[in-house]
Structure 1
Amino acid sequence: MRCGVLDIGSRTVHLKIADLFPGSPPEPVTSWKQPVRLADATDRQGMIPREAIRSLVGAVTASAAAASAHHVDRLIPFATSAVRDATNRDAVLDEIEAATGIRVGFMSGVEEARLTFRAVRGWLGWSAGRILLLDIGGGSLEIACGNGTYPALAISLPLGADRLTRHHLPDATPVRKRDVKALRRHVRAALGQATAELRAQPAPLSCVATSRTFAQLARLAGTPRPGDGPPAVHSLSRKELVPWVSRLAVRTDRQRAKLRGISASRAHQCLAGAVVAEAAMDVMAVKRLTTCPWALREGVLLDHLSRLEGEHSEFMTPPRATARC
């Protein structure tokens, strides 16, 4: 079966097409994405404006055409927190459906955490043991842990890099120390709600991070993994990350975009992402994380493949190196 996953995120509409065969990993066919910048356009009341909706409809229309051109048998469209949490969410989804015939669904943050964990397990295999997963999105932070194919505990907190930048940091950069301190207090207070549940879980063997935010922070402050692993896989320690919070705060967006790993489109939100990453690692006593190239889209594909197989035959990739907590 040829399956397409259409992911409407806070910054892009991303279509990933893969062939699914029982007993094998998803075989990539193509990947296509178009920027929409929903997070930047959404106002402080959570309303997505007309211009952004038109851009979104255009991106979904183009994605549907690409899926048709590649003879996709099943298209799985979903929206993450940028649309899910919008005050005019239903109107946005209705307009997409009216223009394209595609009814976009949305999953809860907990379901995002669950499926992202599924992807990480599929990438790392069983040798990773009990996994602790952290994923910083545009609107939320997902946390999951467990030793199975799916997590024993999945948590979603409203600590996404875009959301925090929009609501807790000034528009102008550089950012004052007092604003960074206030953001840190807010993040740690929110994380405190989750730590009690996490403490009740056995200690993880492998600590893993997904998402573009973590990938860019790992390129900025971390080090590539040694050995034969993919070059995109990096290791990031809290010790390496801590000094970069203040370094990012004193830089303008233009200056941040010149740093290794920081893209121009994410320069404005990278400080909030770094604050969340550092606080989460500290509160959860994580010394080092390894980035994983598979995330939510791959988790959706693997979950769909498991359903096709009746959830009895589970594919696991060969073990890969990962950071021990």
Structure 2
Amino acid sequence: MDDSDLAETAVAQQGERREGPGTAGHSALAGASAAARAGQRVPSVYAALDLGTNNCRLLVARRAGDSFRVVDAFSRIVRLGEGLETSGRLSEAAMDRTVAALAVCTRKLRYRRVERLRAIATEACRRAANGTVFLERVRQETGLDLEVISTAEEAELAYHGCAPLFEPERPHVLVLDIGGGSTEVCWLERDQGEAIGRLRRSLSLPFGVVTLAERHGGRDVSELVYRRMIVQVTEALHSFDPKGELLALAQAGALQLVGTSGTVTTLAGVHLDLPRYQRDRVDGLHLSRETVLRTSRLVRELDFPARAAHPCIGIQRADLVVAGCAIVEAVLELWPLTRLRVADRGLREGMLTRMIHEDLSRAGAA
């Protein structure tokens, strides 16, 4: 079980005690149409499902005004994109694992009487030659209609989800979202009082922790191989700041870095020496540049069995975390940022926020 699995299992267990069971035959989306027939303009129970190259994640939340309160959560490492780098296809074993996890999500949607759902898929389904075949299998076996989103929308949802962690005193924000098959980098500029601001630039790198680990190896990584990973990432990022604007902002102290991924939450958990992952200790934590580099080295110096045994890494992330560290270090090499803010939030929170705001706006206009 990985770090997010531990945290979200606890959330789910708390939610089970708070919420009563749904009707046995209740469809995952039947509540939405029933609510519309009853004249209910804004749903009460929302869900956001994010199927990535490495993880399958679900959040179920009750609307609280224009925000939400999480009542159930699910996270499972499914490695949907395993082998995709070399074969160009999703393997049968990976699809089987993923469909099993999505079936769990469907049961939770029914149990929680979800009224509005958005379910997305990202890089693995974008790239795989048999991606549409897989999506049809998911529809047939689970009833879920997954929407494959663009890299641009993936980035947008990620920074919307992280917006509550943006610091008002720094007008420029660099959001780093390290995925399994791709990595999204966004530069936002905010005026005083703005929650999010305007997007100045975004870039989707065609690799993430799974991709880099498959290219370079993830179990036993020498310093030379690790350096090659960093070089690959820095070369890919050079086009993001061709005129050195971000470099100047970082040197002036006007740029903040927010990281959202299993890599940065893992680094935070390892730094805090947590006996088990604790989201409330990690989400929003500031890690100094020196702390990030020191913790990254500590993780790299552990052999594979030691990484697998670490309570904040685990067997399922042990061969991927070093690749993630290389991506973070590449960013810190390019831009002299003094610290990284850790976000245990992202796409799902962005989806929930957007759905609620859309519904409230629609209801207000009715």
Same fold (TM over 0.5): yes
Query: The residue matched to 1:38 in structure 2 has which SS?
Result: coil
Corresponding residue to 1:12 among 55, 70, 94: 55
Corresponding residue to 1:49 among 85, 88, 91: 91
Whether the aligned pair in 1 keeps the contact of 2:230 and 2:329 (CA below 8 Å) is no
Note if 1:269 corresponds to 2:317: no
Gap regions ≥5 residues in structure 1: 314-325
Structure 1 counterpart of 2:152, which letter? V
- The aligned counterpart of 1:108 is 150
- The aligned counterpart of 1:161 is 209
Cα distance in 2 for residues equivalent to 1:278 and 1:94: 39
Q: 1:249 offset after TM fit, Å?
A: 4.1
Structure 2 counterpart of 1:29, which letter? V
Gap regions ≥5 residues in structure 2: 1-42
Cα distance in 1 for residues equivalent to 2:243 and 2:267: 27
* Identity fraction in percent: 24
Query: The residue matched to 1:155 in structure 2 has which SS?
Result: strand
Cα distance in 2 for residues equivalent to 1:69 and 1:129: 43
Alpha carbons of 1:87 and 1:252: their partners in 2 closer, same or farther (altered >3 Å)? Answer: farther
Superimposed CA distance per residue, residues 70-126 of structure 1 (whole angstroms, 9 cap, x where no aligned partner): 110111111122322223211111111122332211212221211111122134475
Whether the aligned pair in 1 keeps the contact of 2:247 and 2:335 (CA below 8 Å) is no
Corresponding residue to 1:283 among 326, 334, 337: 334
- The aligned counterpart of 1:74 is 116
- The aligned counterpart of 1:302 is 353
Note if 1:140 corresponds to 2:182: yes
- The aligned counterpart of 1:216 is 266
Cα distance in 2 for residues equivalent to 1:65 and 1:312: 29
Query: The residue matched to 2:53 in structure 1 has which SS?
Result: coil
Q: 1:136 offset after TM fit, Å?
A: 1.1
Cα distance in 2 for residues equivalent to 1:210 and 1:44: 27
Structure in which a larger fraction of residues adopt helix = 2
Structure 2 counterpart of 1:170, which letter? G
RMSD: 2.9
Residues matched between the structures, number: 306
Structure 1 counterpart of 2:260, which letter? T
Whether the aligned pair in 2 keeps the contact of 1:134 and 1:142 (CA below 8 Å) is yes
Cα distance in 2 for residues equivalent to 1:67 and 1:278: 38
Corresponding residue to 1:32 among 61, 66, 74: 74
Whether the aligned pair in 1 keeps the contact of 2:85 and 2:211 (CA below 8 Å) is no
- The aligned counterpart of 2:232 is 186
Alpha carbons of 1:39 and 1:68: their partners in 2 closer, same or farther (altered >3 Å)? Answer: same
Q: 1:58 offset after TM fit, Å?
A: 2.3
Alpha carbons of 1:262 and 1:164: their partners in 2 closer, same or farther (altered >3 Å)? Answer: same
Query: The residue matched to 2:316 in structure 1 has which SS?
Result: helix
Structure 1 counterpart of 2:232, which letter? H
Structure 1 counterpart of 2:239, which letter? Q
Superimposed CA distance per residue, residues 191-221 of structure 1 (whole angstroms, 9 cap, x where no aligned partner): 1121227727983443211111111112334
Q: 1:276 offset after TM fit, Å?
A: 0.7
Whether the aligned pair in 2 keeps the contact of 1:175 and 1:250 (CA below 8 Å) is no
TM-score by length of 2: 0.75
- The aligned counterpart of 1:87 is 129
Pairs within 5 Å for 1:250-269 = 250-259=301-310, 261-269=312-320
Q: 1:160 offset after TM fit, Å?
A: 0.9
Q: 1:279 offset after TM fit, Å?
A: 0.7
Structure 2 counterpart of 1:220, which letter? V
- The aligned counterpart of 1:122 is 164
Structure 2 counterpart of 1:83, which letter? C
Whether the aligned pair in 2 keeps the contact of 1:139 and 1:162 (CA below 8 Å) is yes
Q: 1:64 offset after TM fit, Å?
A: 1.4
Query: The residue matched to 1:310 in structure 2 has which SS?
Result: helix
Alpha carbons of 1:67 and 1:50: their partners in 2 closer, same or farther (altered >3 Å)? Answer: same
Superimposed CA distance per residue, residues 211-243 of structure 1 (whole angstroms, 9 cap, x where no aligned partner): 11111112334799xxxx942233223323335
Cα distance in 2 for residues equivalent to 1:128 and 1:158: 29
Whether the aligned pair in 1 keeps the contact of 2:247 and 2:334 (CA below 8 Å) is no
Q: 1:43 offset after TM fit, Å?
A: 5.6
Query: Which is worse superposed, 152-161 or 253-262?
Result: 253-262
TM-score by length of 1: 0.83
Cα distance in 2 for residues equivalent to 1:270 and 1:298: 23
Whether the aligned pair in 2 keeps the contact of 1:131 and 1:145 (CA below 8 Å) is yes
Structure 2 counterpart of 1:100, which letter? T
Query: The residue matched to 2:46 in structure 1 has which SS?
Result: strand
Query: The residue matched to 2:213 in structure 1 has which SS?
Result: helix
Query: The residue matched to 1:119 in structure 2 has which SS?
Result: helix
